[in-house]
Structure formats: C-alpha cells, structure tokens
Structure 1
Amino acid sequence: MRAQGKLIKQGAEARVYHLPTFLTIQEGCIAKERFAKTYRHPDLDRTLTARRVIQEARCLQKCKKSGMDTPTVYLVDIPEATIYMECVVGETVKQRLLSNQSNYYADLDQESMAEKIGTSLAKMHAQDVVHGDLTTSNLMLRDNNGSLVVIDFGLSYVSVLPEDKAVDLYVLERAFSSTHPKTEDLFASILEHYAKGYKKSRTILTKLDEVRLRGRKRSMIG
C-alpha cells in the first residue's frame, strides 16, 4: 500500500500526507512515509528505514498504553516505510500561544496548559521514551475535549539515561524561549507538574541544569 493524499509536510526524514478517506474513519488519517536515502546502499537503507518505522510505532504504542494521548496507530506498512495514524483535529500549542501573544497570554489558562504538558511528558519519560524533537509544534490540543496530544515521534527512542530525558526538556524549553516570549513562568510550571508526575524527576531536573549551563557556554563562545 502506498500513501496517496494531500502532502501537508515534508521534513528531512519523511513526507506526511492527509488521506481524506481511510476505512470508515470520518476524518481520514495521516500517513507518514519515510523516503529512501540515496547516499546509502539500498539494502542498508531498507534495513535502517524499517528499523526507524518500527521504533516510531512502538514508541507511540508504549506512550498510548501509559495513558498519554498520542495519535492512534492504524497500520504499519514496513515494505512502504509508512505509518497510518489518527488525524488529530485541533490546534498546536504553538498556534494557541501565538494567537494569545499580543496580550501576553492574558486570556490563556496557562496553569491548565502547563499541567497537561508536564503530566504528559512525565508519563512519556516514565516509560523511558525520549521524544527527540519536543517543540510547541509537536504538542496539540484536541478540539473536542482540550486533551494534550504529543505528536511526531519520528526521532523518538528508548533510553533510561537522565541526560537524554534532560535534553528532551531542554529542547522544549528552547522552543518556548525562542518562539514565545514571556513564557518563563509557564515553562517553570510545566516542570513543576513534570516533577509531580514522575518519581525519578529529581535526577533529570538536576541534569537539566547541567545541560542549560553547557548551552549557555556554547552561546558565549559562539
């Protein structure tokens, strides 16, 4: 089966399509198709691509079982390197923040957003899943119930290392600071809810301070 539909995003690793019809699902579905890397030997490329597709699908399922809200996986087509998954109807956290930026988020329930994000990330890291690309574009709020959905696990992997989880949080912190000014308190609240939801958070948050320090040093050096 090859994905056919409207191309909505193309990254360095994959193309993402919206299929308006899929089985009996009213919203259709999202098809994420990893494409071949021509600089690699074809046999090696197929092996590595299949491994990445399987890993992404497993991380999605692992998070779903933990109680996180993630897109439901409908079908994994390994020969075509494609995952067919739920089309989440809603807006990204990035869109929500940008639309409330002009009045410094006065109309935004920041505490509710922080709780949703922090709790979701706590569940994810408790399963030893590292997202690898945490940005406000990869966090969505459902239209029907406001649930926080974590999407795009294309760079995800499993790790028990506090360093890897700390870097995950640091990437999200940088996304907030670079795209959404005046959200320092919001991110601090996210970390508070993360700590409440994850028993092993203390070690990770200590590592986060170390990662921040390294990041500042790199910025100073240029």
Structure 2
Amino acid sequence: MFCGRPAIAKQRFNKTYRHPDLDKKLTSRRLVQEGRLLLKCLKANVPVPTIWWVDMARLTLYMERIDGPSLRDYLFASTVGWLSGQSHTQERSSSLSPMSLDDGLAQKVGESLAKMHDANIIHGDLTTSNILCQGESSSPVRVLLPLVIIDFGLGYISTLPEDKAVDLYVLERAFFSTHPGTEDLFQGILQAYRKVTPASAKAVLHRLEDVRLRGRKRSMVG
C-alpha cells in the first residue's frame, strides 16, 4: 500500500560486480529514466501504471498495482479454456474461440504501441509478459480486458525508426515463439499501429522489414 492505495514497489539492487561509485551512478540514472518514461507515457495517453513516488535513497519506484494476468497468461488461458470447452457440448455456447477477439485485442495493442512510439519512447523489452490485462480473468467466457504496458527498465528515448522497429520485432518474436499460430493477430497489431500515425508508421514498418531480414540471416548463420 502507498498512502492507502494498492501499490507495488520496484527496487533496483546494487550490482556487486561493479565499482560502488559507478554502480550508484548507473542505477540512479536508470531509476530516474524509468520514472520519466512512465510520466511521459501517461502524458501521451499510453496505458501504463501511475507512478506515485521515486525514492532515490532506497532506489525504489512506487507505482499503481495492476491486478490481472499478463497478456501471455491471458492468451494461454483463453486457448486452453476454449479447447476444454470443445470437449463438453454444454459449454460450447459460452466458450469463445481463442482468436475470436483478435480484432479488438490487436487494435488495443497496436494503438498503445503507436502512441508510445509517437512520443519517441522505446520500451526495450516488449514481450507478452510485459503487457498486463487489467481486471478479472476467471470467467469461462473470454472478455477483452484493458491493457497496461509495464516494466520500462530498459526503455529510452529515441526518434529513430530503427529503434522503434526493433521494439516491434522483439514483440513479434515473443508472439511467434510463445504463442504459435498468432501470425494473423500480430498482423492486426501492425495494421492498428499504422492507422494511428500513418506517416511515421510507414518509416517504422519499412525498417521492420530490414530488421526481420537481419534476424533471419543471423538464424541461418547460427
């Protein structure tokens, strides 16, 4: 709790392998940077936790607690729940296809990422584990929940389409490696991303093709 409100405390710990003075400087810088990125996201209407306090003495961020599963767990549970429902005829009418809400989900993710990149914020570690679905997920019927992006510990500011493209590529790899069969879902995310800021998105998505090509070459070389 923080001032009577549900909260989480994210503390950065000292790295013993670094010189103490250097470690203190780098850790403090990352803490301040993450706090600034969250504030910048909030101003840009990007769904992130509200930040309440930055404790430099304890190297701790106090933020709004988001109750709900990660997008990773949400997609996994939705798929498992649907498959289970298919084995019970009486449950089929109340169980949605695991991809039946793709359009809405893709739109929410794509719009959020577009707003974030339009503010020149690079997340640095975009995965389905760092996107939360805010709300109750225990219902057997798959309901599209509000999304919240978390963990900007590796984030930074950049105007370069290359950096934004790498952000998208990291998320794409996370989708395909963790959630097989979601190619159409990710394409929907990119379509929603393009619609928010068509001009800047064009350069980013063009660069994404180059990033993909480099990724495939690295995979072939090993």
Fold-level similarity (TM above 0.5): yes
> 2:200, 2:8 → 1: CA distance?
34
CA–CA separation in structure 1 for the residues paired with 2:21 and 2:202:
43
Structure with the bigger percentage of helix = 2
Residue aligning to 1:23: 3
Deviations 1:21-47 (A, max 9, x none): 32211xx21111111111221111111
Q: Are residues 1:45 and 2:23 paired? A: yes
Q: 1:195, CA displacement in angstroms?
A: 0.5
Q: Give the structure with higher Rg (CA).
A: 2
Q: Which sections of structure 1, spanning at least 5 residues, go unmatched? A: 1-20
How many residue pairs were aligned?
Answer: 200
Q: How does 1:116-195 map to 2 (within 5 A)?
A: 116-143=108-135, 146-195=145-194
Matched, 1:201 2:201: yes
2:64 and 2:78 map into 1 onto residues whose CA distance is 27
Is 1:221 aligned to 2:214, yes or no?
no
The 2-side partners of 1:186 and 1:207 are apart by 20
Offset of residue 211 of structure 1: 0.4
Q: Taking every aligned residue pair, what percent have the same amino acid on both sides?
A: 52
- Cα deviation for residue 146 of structure 1 reads 2.2
**Aligned-partner Cα distance in 2 for 1:141–1:40:** 37
**Correspondence for 2:103:** 111
2:11 aligned counterpart, secondary structure: strand
AA at the equivalent of 2:146 = S
> Matches of 2:179 and 2:62 in 1, distance apart?
32
Question: Unmatched 5+ residue regions in structure 2?
Answer: 84-95, 137-143
TM-score, scaled to structure 1: 0.86
Query: TM-score if structure 2 supplies the norm length?
Result: 0.86
- SS where residue 148 of structure 2 aligns? strand
In structure 2, which of residues 35, 45, 49 is the aligned counterpart of residue 71 of structure 1? 49
Mapped pair 1:80 → 2:71: no
Any idea what the Cα deviations from partners look like across 1:49-81, whole Å, max 9, x if unmatched? Answer: 111000000001100111111000010011211
Q: Is the 8 A contact 2:2 2:62 kept in 1?
A: no
Larger proportion of strand: 1
* Deviates further, 95-104 or 76-85: 95-104
Runs of 4 or more consecutive aligned structure 1 residues displaced over 2 Å after TM superposition: 100-105
Q: Which amino acid aligns with 1:39?
A: Y
CA distance in 1, matches of 2:39, 2:156: 12
Local SS of the residue matching 1:211:
helix
Structure 2 Cα separation of the partners of residues 112 and 24 of structure 1: 34
Partner of 2:87: none
CA distance in 2, matches of 1:22, 1:139: 23
Equivalent position of 1:59 in the other structure:
37
| Alignment root-mean-square deviation, CA | 1.5
Matched with 2:211 is 211
